[in-house]
Structure 1
Amino acid sequence: MKKGKNEEGSWTICQECQGRGKKSRGLSDKARRHYQMALDQFEKTKGEGIAPVRPKGHLHSCLNCSGSGLLHSASHPVVDKENYPHIAIIGGGIGGVALAVACLHRGIPFTLYERDNNFDARSQGYGLTLQQASKAIEGLGVFSLDERVISTRHVVHTTDGKVIGEWGIRKWMQSDVKTSSKRTNMHISRQSLRSALLEQLGGHDAVQWGHQLIDFAACEGEGVDLNFLVDGKIQPFKADLVVGADGIRSSVRRLLIGEDITPLRYLGCIVILGICPLSALKGLDSSLLDSATVFQTANGNERIYIMPYTSDSVMWQLSFPMPENEAKALSAQGPQALKEEACRRTQWHDPIPQILSTTLEAQISGYPVYDRELLKLELLEKGGQVTLIGDAAHPMSPFKGQGANQALLDALTLARGISRGCRAASQWRKAGVRESVLTEFESEMLERSASKVKDSAEAAQFLHSEIVLHEGDEPRGRCLKKKNV
């Protein structure tokens, strides 16, 4: 991602790659010959056995748009209400706003609904680490994030400060380079990323704030009827496609699938989070506070993870096992109780006690950690013109940093699927948006995110066990995968 301000103006999709960012090289002569031989053999056996599947050509980055799928434009594409479905996006968090942006770039009509009354109505979480989604951000027209922080070093300690693992570009290259794009992670606050995406939409007015979804139902003709509670009154709306991007406690998911089939699944631990400005730690000399280092410390039960939040602050995440009823009770007691519990459990090496004791209670929150059983395609298939993305579809623990990454990928993939599957000649109104777009999208989304959900749930266990104390210059838990190979 280029450093500097985003170019002013608008974006439209690259026609050479149709907004995908990649183009097919086509099949090689060898691959084509092998497929033809297999097909000939299948036909000789009069269809016995399994028919060969035609291989797909290798994809390469589109040179015309540098792989983003977008080109600079004097204005946004004209909204194509005639050919594209009108999408009701439920939820104005990262995933919902990203989907709206991707639709804007493709001329797909949408309305973005959020139950909060404004952008700052409640905390939208803390810091994010962008991994696979770094390229997706460019696919959303965000080519720079001014408030991002790049980390180039990751250190793991025991509670007395002994280093038991270290990796990152500064480990491998033994240099003080802080901004290389290789072997680095990009960190940004959730609200900063959300704000950058809203800028693509033209600002906060692009969101229908204060709209709480009450119910929805398929129309007798076509489309979906929705009812929202707005200023104490029920207001009806209509859409061709409804996308639930409303988080782990998704109303769309509850109305679509029900809460009993895939209930929240407690992962056995609580997380306490805080943000501490570096200015509050004056006089504390620590190489861990250089705004380019991520570090964690653990004892086999408690584990704290501290990362750059902005250029002048850090975010910490303390987690430990606790029975669900106790975790709920501690969370309900509020910031003071959470801070006291965190400080009591982390009288460890510097600068951990100083960071936690200095963090203001207003910057502390905590919650029990949940996910849900993986969705099966058949549960979504009954939804007709309704689907889910992000945490509404595949909630996961925060321990692999994948929630926002997957939501961004979901959003961009769905918008690209609508653009491709609902073209003028597609006759999607006759075939239905599910057959034209949703079945393929949901299959890809669930397959891609399944390993992330599984790995995140496993991390909730091994990060609070003796495994985390394994000595090695690699991410915690990798030794487990090596044993299973």
Structure 2
Amino acid sequence: MVDNQKVTWTLCQECQGRGKKRRRLRKKVKLQYQYLLEEFEKNQNQGIAPVRPKGSLYPCLNCNGSGLISSSSNTIVDKENYPHVAIIGGGIGGVALAVACLHRGIPFTLYERDKNFDSRSQGYGLTLQQASKAIEGLGIFVLDEGVISTRHVVHTTEGEVIGEWGIRKWVQKDAQMPPKRTNIHIARQSLRLALLEQLGGQDKIQWGHQLTGLRESKANGVELEFQVNGEIRSAKADLVVGADGIRSSVRRLLIGDDRNPLRYLGCIVILGICPLESLKGVSSSLLDSATVFQTANGTERIYMMPYTSESIMWQLSFPMSEKEAKVLSVLGPKALKKEALRRTKWHDPIPQILEATQEAQVSGYPVYDRELLTPELLQTLGQVTLLGDAAHPMSPFKGQGANQALLDALSLARSIHRNCKYLSQWREARLRETVLKDFELEMLERSASKVKDSAEAAKFLHSEVVLHVGDEPRGRFLKKNDL
């Protein structure tokens, strides 16, 4: 296996860091397109123009699809040909973008409002799905703290199994596991730390920088203002990327909260993390650090997954008015844990897990998303764009927030690298046209279904739909039956 910390990465020249190559078009396909184009021109461009065909993509064999190869030294920063990128937000998406820029020699500065890495409690876990491949494009081939689940079980509150799937369900114990990509569960801070190690350490972030203003300058760049230790400091960049979360300062300054407000999804989430050693007297096959399980009654729903190999994370959610949800979250860990215990007098080991969870490891919040941005609105942002939760916040019920942020980061860095090198003249053509327009269209198209599905999950996971009997995810049943 590759040790992430001891390898320096550079772009694979064969695929230009994309991880994929395009096959050549067959002669027959080329001739067919040429014929259609000639006919279109003969008809004086009437009707629909034929679309130039593209060869199918296949993984690059030189880099095994990651877009990276090992190198004896860091990629040289190319300040002459690439724009300087100011990244606002040092969370998963922001650090991932910085890493992707580092591998491509794109100059950047990464700003974070927190004073340091541990300023805020960020103790919840993530499930890497599509992004379990994308992180290889960021130089992370091994996640030492990651846990792979091989079984997913759904129960009624009495403990009756009404659904089960995963590798262990479909493959006999003595059979060879298929080479199928699996979900990786990892603590958010562990993934963030792995990304920072790729970046070269925590000192690569400009900590304690709260963005207070930004405006395009006459010199074709963007001027920024930060509050740092009570003082105002200025900076400048060619491109600004807001990766600063659901309550993004970049988004608020340029779009405003009224134009595209937070949308309450009608429920609250209470989270907790429990060490397995606190459950020594509890015997359950659900506590094997490789099982994800959920229990529901049509109103409340609890979801439990491995947090590390030695702890489990739980997520209880239920409908509640926005006002009540805000009040409960403000009351803090003690009130949140008490409410969670009151609502989950269910089958073992749920009560035991919640009871053993320390109050310091409990948090809760009302669930929000936003209406998806439009390309037209993004076009007004000039040399500024958004990614991750700043661009398309969504509920946590489909586990897509971090996945989409990682994919956004890699997509944007690849777009900058592809469209800004050498003779691209991006300074004259403006980054919005050369880089941002295509990136944003791809991001919005990819994330639209995720935002929609996550919002729908906030409803059906707290309804009778969740109680149907079937060995499949609850949302899949919903789509199959068009409910």
Q: For residue 55 of structure 1, report the CA deviation from its aligned partner.
A: 1.5
Partner in structure 2 of residue 279 of structure 1: 277
Q: Distance in 2 between matches of 1:326 and 1:174?
A: 48
Deviations 1:412-447 (A, max 9, x none): 000000001101110111101111100000000011
Of residues 59-68 and 183-192 in structure 1, the stretch that sits farther from structure 2 once superposed is 183-192
Deviations 1:247-274 (A, max 9, x none): 0000000111111111000000000000
Q: Distance in 2 between matches of 1:246 and 1:183?
A: 30
Partner in structure 2 of residue 86 of structure 1: 84
Partner of 1:165, secondary structure, is: strand
Of residues 372-381 and 181-190 in structure 1, the stretch that sits farther from structure 2 once superposed is 181-190
1:358 corresponds, among 333, 356, 365, to: 356
Q: Distance in 1 between matches of 2:373 and 2:448?
A: 9
Partner of 1:95, secondary structure, is: helix
Match status 1:117 vs 2:120: no
Partner in structure 1 of residue 464 of structure 2: 466
Q: Distance in 2 between matches of 1:162 and 1:73?
A: 54
Amino acid at match of 1:127: G
Q: Distance in 1 between matches of 2:341 and 2:175?
A: 33
- The answer as to whether partners of 1:276 and 1:314 remain within 8 angstroms in 2 is yes
| 1:93-104 equivalence runs, <5 A | 93-104=91-102
Q: Distance in 1 between matches of 2:175 and 2:395?
A: 32
Alignment TM-score, normalising by the size of structure 2:
0.98
Partner in structure 2 of residue 213 of structure 1: 211
- The answer as to whether partners of 1:178 and 1:292 remain within 8 angstroms in 2 is no
Q: For residue 218 of structure 1, report the CA deviation from its aligned partner.
A: 0.6
Deviations 1:283-322 (A, max 9, x none): 2110000000000000000000000000010000000000
Q: For residue 181 of structure 1, report the CA deviation from its aligned partner.
A: 5.2
Q: For residue 179 of structure 1, report the CA deviation from its aligned partner.
A: 8.0
- 5+ residue gaps, structure 2: none
- The answer as to whether partners of 2:129 and 2:182 remain within 8 angstroms in 1 is no
Q: Summarize the Cα distance change of 1:431–1:54 in structure 2 as closer, same or farther, 3 Å threshold.
A: same
Partner in structure 1 of residue 451 of structure 2: 453
Partner in structure 1 of residue 258 of structure 2: 260
Q: Distance in 2 between matches of 1:180 and 1:116?
A: 43
1:380 corresponds, among 378, 381, 387, to: 378
Q: Distance in 2 between matches of 1:321 and 1:55?
A: 49
Partner of 2:283, secondary structure, is: coil
Partner in structure 2 of residue 368 of structure 1: 366
Q: Distance in 2 between matches of 1:46 and 1:483?
A: 47
| 1:387-398 equivalence runs, <5 A | 387-398=385-396
Match status 1:347 vs 2:345: yes
Q: For residue 411 of structure 1, report the CA deviation from its aligned partner.
A: 0.3
Partner in structure 2 of residue 430 of structure 1: 428
Q: For residue 484 of structure 1, report the CA deviation from its aligned partner.
A: 3.1
Amino acid at match of 1:445: M
Q: For residue 5 of structure 1, report the CA deviation from its aligned partner.
A: 3.2
2:19 corresponds, among 15, 18, 21, to: 21
Q: For residue 184 of structure 1, report the CA deviation from its aligned partner.
A: 2.6
| 1:218-257 equivalence runs, <5 A | 218-257=216-255
Q: For residue 134 of structure 1, report the CA deviation from its aligned partner.
A: 1.0
Partner of 2:119, secondary structure, is: coil
Q: For residue 78 of structure 1, report the CA deviation from its aligned partner.
A: 1.0
- The answer as to whether partners of 2:132 and 2:183 remain within 8 angstroms in 1 is no
Q: Distance in 1 between matches of 2:24 and 2:122?
A: 43
Q: For residue 185 of structure 1, report the CA deviation from its aligned partner.
A: 1.1
Amino acid at match of 2:345: Q
Q: Distance in 2 between matches of 1:349 and 1:181?
A: 35
Partner in structure 2 of residue 402 of structure 1: 400
Amino acid at match of 1:472: G
- The answer as to whether partners of 1:81 and 1:109 remain within 8 angstroms in 2 is yes
Deviations 1:203-259 (A, max 9, x none): 100000000000001111120110000010000001000000000000000111111
- The answer as to whether partners of 2:149 and 2:292 remain within 8 angstroms in 1 is yes
Q: Summarize the Cα distance change of 1:178–1:313 in structure 2 as closer, same or farther, 3 Å threshold.
A: farther
Partner in structure 2 of residue 136 of structure 1: 134
Partner in structure 1 of residue 31 of structure 2: 33
- The answer as to whether partners of 1:152 and 1:179 remain within 8 angstroms in 2 is no
Partner in structure 2 of residue 413 of structure 1: 411
Runs of 4+ in 1 over 6 A off after TM superposition: 176-180
Q: Distance in 1 between matches of 2:127 and 2:481?
A: 27
Q: For residue 75 of structure 1, report the CA deviation from its aligned partner.
A: 1.2
Q: Summarize the Cα distance change of 1:476–1:394 in structure 2 as closer, same or farther, 3 Å threshold.
A: same
Partner in structure 2 of residue 192 of structure 1: 190
Q: Distance in 1 between matches of 2:26 and 2:253?
A: 48
Partner of 1:139, secondary structure, is: helix
Q: For residue 332 of structure 1, report the CA deviation from its aligned partner.
A: 0.3
Q: Summarize the Cα distance change of 1:332–1:177 in structure 2 as closer, same or farther, 3 Å threshold.
A: farther
Partner of 1:79, secondary structure, is: coil
Q: Summarize the Cα distance change of 1:141–1:181 in structure 2 as closer, same or farther, 3 Å threshold.
A: same
- The answer as to whether partners of 1:268 and 1:324 remain within 8 angstroms in 2 is yes
Alignment TM-score, normalising by the size of structure 1:
0.97
Q: For residue 135 of structure 1, report the CA deviation from its aligned partner.
A: 1.2
Q: Summarize the Cα distance change of 1:181–1:421 in structure 2 as closer, same or farther, 3 Å threshold.
A: same
- The answer as to whether partners of 2:5 and 2:198 remain within 8 angstroms in 1 is no
Identity over aligned pairs, percent = 75
Q: Distance in 1 between matches of 2:211 and 2:369?
A: 22
Q: Summarize the Cα distance change of 1:295–1:223 in structure 2 as closer, same or farther, 3 Å threshold.
A: same
Partner in structure 2 of residue 156 of structure 1: 154
